[in-house]
Amino acid sequence: MDVTRRDIIKNVDIRANLDIPEDIVERIQANFGHVVTMDRHCLPNIALYGRVEGNRPKGRPMKHWMDNVTDDIIAGASWRLHA
């Protein structure tokens, strides 16, 4: 099945064409049923049901000054003042 993202076909339709009855989330939930019974504040439960909030900015992440210092140290830059 030659499908790319440009074809704009829903995952549900692709799974139906491939005779895959359930999606990966349903399969994981079925295999990790013991996590469902845990307290909702336990880490496995948070990992299974957690959602990430907020948006990431578009584009390449900005480099902070400490990243430049670390790169200079790795490259072997000298920090002595030259007089």
Q: What is the pLDDT of residue 65?
A: 78
Residue 32: its pLDDT value, please?
A: 72
pLDDT, tens digit (0-9, with 9 covering 90-100), for 9-36: 888 888 888 888 888 777 777 777 777 7
Is the pLDDT reported for residue 79 higher than 70? Answer: no
- What sign for the dihedral angle of Cα 19, 20, 22, 27? positive
CA distance 52 to 43: 14
CB 33 within 8 A of CB 44: no
Band of residue 77 on the pLDDT scale cut at 50, 70, 90? low
